[in-house]
Amino acid sequence: MNLNAVNLVVGHSRTNALLGPLTHVWKAGGMHLLLGGNGAGKSTLLRTLANALPAQSGDISMSNDDQGIRPEDRSTWTKSIAFVSSRPPHQVGLTVEEVWALSGHPEEVRAWHPDLMDLAKSRLSELSDGQAQQVMVARAMLQSNRWLVLDEPTAFLDVQAQRRLWSMLDVHVERGGGVLMATHDLWGVERWSQAQSEATLAKGSLALIRGGEIHELPLHSSKEDLSELLATG
């Protein structure tokens, strides 16, 4: 199902809008990447779409040819969109298996990411940032086979963990799910786009949030071009 925003305004109050009014469609089954400087509104937009923050005005929905879902149907919306923050919750004393069980059947992870099963009996608080973030992405996939919304999930990871997380998101897209991710990982953006088919790229998008608006960018943009664009904001 496509993720839709119509005349959406997001922010912390009606007098402090960060972004909008925004009308935009993120296509189902695509990888959608958001860039932007600190304070541009990326995190607020993502949390609003995931129904973790209220919209200041406008409408959010998911739709396909014969069905529509709105955030007001909290149960259905929660099963259709899962949010992953930039920092995994290390303070949680649950085991990895118990964390997964909160969102679905842990054994399902074996089919997508069998290497993570070695962590199943470990406590989340004992894992590295990279391991814990992979656990949280797997949890999000258990919660929703439609949309994953991620707020700079590679921000505190080393290069190996960053690559592993991008691979996990590829699995979600290959299964027909959509990904909407804010990121500063320009190397990852370039590497991902270069490895994809034109058919996969046609479903995805790359955009810059600046001045309260979303500006579409070519998915084949180089990391040097993207870096220069962000530096001149």
List pLDDT tens digits, range 214-227.
Answer: 999 999 999 999 99
**What does the pLDDT read at residue 167?**
95
**Predicted TM-score (pTM) of this structure:** 0.94
Kindly state the tokens that stand for 78: 């929660």
Distance CA 148, CA 144 (A): 7
Q: Which of 167, 174, 109 is nearest to 140 (CA)?
A: 109
**What does the pLDDT read at residue 17?**
86
**What does the pLDDT read at residue 233?**
63
CB-CB contact of 10 with 53 (8 Å): yes
Residues of the chain with pLDDT below 70 are 233
CB-based burial of residue 38 (10 Å sphere; 0-12 exposed, 13-18 middle, 19+ buried)?
exposed
